[in-house]
């Protein structure tokens, strides 16, 4: 069977038989020498730190990275948890949410992050995160007693999910524009291989 690679910068729209990838550009890569100690041999990790899992990793070259996600990758999905007042159809749709994008350099054994996809690194009004859904689904409604609304369509596979904040209100929807990535540098972990699970360091 022929394999296809779908590369999207906003939303990953790929059938289950396809490999997918996240193409990104780090807008403030110039800070790497001062924060990481080098801008060479730096890798981007797409991780779920809570589960101790690296979903994908890729070299950062000239500020650009391409994270390949295997089509057959088994993900520990859980029912999507939303607040009261929001309707999910079908109910309890199985999803997997990545937690953090980070950078790693083997020579310094240093982990740095997080990376955020946003319109501004410190005062963002739009932030994009990645979510995998086992099935196509819709998420709509307003959280009871809260200032958060959903108008989100999930396709089977990987999806970009954008949160828009305006005057203290939050709207969760599909991305409508391509946003850059930024290194915040709030997380700095030296001797990372002695702290994190060994599975984090098997590749590359």
CB-based contacts of 126, cutoff 8 Å, min separation 6? 118, 119, 162, 163, 164, 165, 177, 179
Residue 85 structural domain: 5-201
Q: Are 82 and 154 in contact (CB under 8 A)?
A: no
For the chain, give the mean pLDDT.
87
pTM attached to this predicted model: 0.83
The tens digit of pLDDT for each residue in 132-143 reads 999 999 999 999
Between CA 10 and CA 26 the distance in angstroms is 15
How many domains are there within the chain? 1
The tens digit of pLDDT for each residue in 59-116 reads 999 999 999 987 777 888 999 999 999 999 999 999 998 768 999 999 999 999 999 9
């Amino acid at each position: 069977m022929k394999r296809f690679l779908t590369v999207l910068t906003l939303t990953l729209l790929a059938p289950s038989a396809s490999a997918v990838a996240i193409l990104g550009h780090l807008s403030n890569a110039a800070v790497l020498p001062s924060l990481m100690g080098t801008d060479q041999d730096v890798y981007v990790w797409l991780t779920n730190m809570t589960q101790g899992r690296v979903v994908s990793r890729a070299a950062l070259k000239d500020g650009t990275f391409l994270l390949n996600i295997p089509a057959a990758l088994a993900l520990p999905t859980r029912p999507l948890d939303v607040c009261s007042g929001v309707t999910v159809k079908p109910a309890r749709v199985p999803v997997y949410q990545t937690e953090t994008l980070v950078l790693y350099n083997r020579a310094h054994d240093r982990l740095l992050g997080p990376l955020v996809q946003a319109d501004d690194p410190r005062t963002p009004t739009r932030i994009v995160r990645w979510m995998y859904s086992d099935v196509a689904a819709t998420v709509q409604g307003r959280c009871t007693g809260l200032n958060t609304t959903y108008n989100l369509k999930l396709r089977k596979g990987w999806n970009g999910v954008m949160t828009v904040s305006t005057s203290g209100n939050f709207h969760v929807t599909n991305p409508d524009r391509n946003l850059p990535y930024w290194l915040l540098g709030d997380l700095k972990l030296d001797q990372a291989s002695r702290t994190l699970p060994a599975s984090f360091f098997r590749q590359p």
